[in-house]
């Protein structure tokens, strides 16, 4: 007789009671991990885009747990660029180009304009000069407003919690990373509430922390460092920094998000569409998905490596390259 599968997380409900994460919650996290690892290898080698579409009894936590699985599996400690080479590249940028600098001392982040180099070869950063040794990392920041003049940000992170949830990560690098691992579009108020769920890996003995401390959504952490972008269904366009080039994992949370965005996502690599049966526009969302499926190659769930939780129906397909 097989034993009961071990839960992936310990979670805390609204009453403060700790409990094992239910199987359906773990299943969404597993799907996010599969999207970040297995399915990501299909694009662009086999497909231009892969879509996984599901119908669910309710929308709670599906998108957030899938995003958590993506970030936990896809993260690798970033390789910091060579300081001198990076400075030469940044010095050649047009004057007033905004950059984000992670300082070597004190773990600070500063955002401001670059203005070439001075006679000593230092980077002119706003009203100061920076040597290569001053920065652990420095990158262009097209999302920064021009009025960000040498703004400084203290990096807030729980090193023990990050080690618990992402054991392969060095907490300082994880917290200061400026990377969009995934984009979630859906009912913003609900998503923000769900990001406060307290979690920890099971049997670790670690203190629980909020999901948002791992997803580090851009709207909350911004210049400090981010791993995801979470925005409302009716966003006008790809929000910065999600609009920057790179692989895009997109989660559409609810029929409204599917109807608004599904036909306008040619530049997404992997799309998870979550249609909830009680959504008023669920039928229209399902039709939009099925229309695109007609010109695609069907993928079996075994190719995805995922078993949907009870009550969830799922299909997957890939758009040929």
Q: Report how far apart the first and last C-alpha atoms of the chain are (Å, whole number).
A: 45
pLDDT tens digits, one per residue of 108-122: 888 989 988 888 888
Low-confidence residues of the chain: pLDDT under 50: 1
Q: Which CATH number fits domain 9-75+177-320: 1.10.3470, 2.60.40, 3.30.70, 3.40.50?
A: 3.40.50
Residue 84: CB partners within 8 Å, gap ≥ 6? 132
**Quick one: tokens of 141?**
């920041």
CA distances from 210 to 30, 33, 54, 197, 312 (A): 19, 19, 26, 5, 26
Q: What's the confidence (pLDDT) of residue 184?
A: 95
Least Cα distance to 238 among 225, 222, 227, 250 occurs for: 250
Q: What's the confidence (pLDDT) of residue 4?
A: 55
Decide: pTM greater than 0.85: yes
Give the whole-angstrom CA distance, residue 219 versus residue 228: 9
CA distances from 156 to 189, 214, 216, 240 (A): 23, 12, 11, 22
Q: What's the confidence (pLDDT) of residue 311?
A: 94
Instruction: Calculate ∠ Cα 94-100-103, nearest 5°.
Output: 125
54 forms beta bridges with 274, 314
All CATH 2.30.30 domain ranges in the chain, comma separated:
83-154
Give the whole-angstrom CA distance, residue 281 versus residue 236: 20
Q: What's the confidence (pLDDT) of residue 307?
A: 94
Q: What's the confidence (pLDDT) of residue 193?
A: 95
Q: What's the confidence (pLDDT) of residue 1?
A: 39
All CATH 3.40.50 domain ranges in the chain, comma separated:
9-75+177-320
**Quick one: tokens of 115?**
């203005």
Q: Which CATH number fits domain 83-154: 3.10.510, 1.10.1760, 2.30.30, 2.60.40?
A: 2.30.30
Give the whole-angstrom CA distance, residue 308 versus residue 233: 24
Q: What's the confidence (pLDDT) of residue 246?
A: 66
* Other beta carbons less than 10 A from residue 9's beta carbon: 23
pLDDT tens digits, one per residue of 236-288: 777 778 777 666 799 999 999 999 988 777 778 899 999 999 888 999 999 99
pLDDT tens digits, one per residue of 72-84: 999 988 877 777 7
User: Which conformational region is residue 91 in: left (phi greater than 0), alpha (psi within -120 to 50 degrees), or beta?
Assistant: alpha
């Amino acid at each position: 007789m097989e034993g009961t599968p071990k839960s992936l997380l310990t979670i805390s409900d609204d009453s403060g009671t700790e409990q094992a994460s239910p199987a359906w919650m773990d299943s969404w996290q597993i799907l996010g991990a599969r999207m970040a690892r297995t399915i990501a290898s299909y694009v662009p080698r086999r497909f231009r885009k892969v879509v996984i579409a599901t119908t669910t009894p309710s929308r709670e936590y599906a998108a957030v747990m899938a995003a958590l699985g993506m970030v936990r599996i896809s993260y690798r400690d970033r390789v910091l660029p060579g300081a001198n080479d990076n400075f030469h590249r940044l010095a050649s940028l047009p004057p007033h180009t905004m950059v984000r600098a992670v300082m070597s001392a004190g773990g600070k982040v500063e955002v401001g304009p670059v203005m070439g180099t001075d006679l000593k070869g230092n980077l002119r950063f706003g009203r100061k000069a920076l040597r290569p040794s001053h920065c652990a990392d420095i990158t262009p920041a097209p999302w920064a407003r021009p009025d960000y003049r040498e703004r400084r940000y203290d990096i807030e992170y729980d090193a023990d919690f990050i080690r618990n949830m992402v054991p392969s990560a060095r907490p300082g690098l994880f917290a200061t990373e400026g990377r969009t691992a995934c984009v979630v579009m859906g009912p913003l108020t609900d998503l923000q509430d769900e990001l406060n769920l307290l979690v920890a890996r099971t049997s670790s003995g670690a203190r629980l922390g909020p999901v948002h401390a791992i997803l580090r959504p851009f709207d909350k952490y911004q210049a400090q460092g981010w791993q995801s972008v979470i925005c409302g269904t009716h966003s006008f366009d790809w929000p910065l920094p999600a609009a920057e080039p790179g692989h895009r994992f997109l989660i559409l949370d609810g029929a409204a998000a599917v109807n608004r965005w599904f036909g306008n996502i040619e530049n997404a690599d992997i799309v998870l569409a979550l249609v909830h049966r009680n959504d008023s526009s669920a039928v229209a969302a399902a039709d939009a998905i099925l229309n695109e499926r007609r010109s695609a190659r069907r993928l079996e769930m075994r190719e995805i490596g995922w078993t949907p939780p009870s009550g969830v129906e799922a299909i997957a397909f890939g758009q040929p390259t």
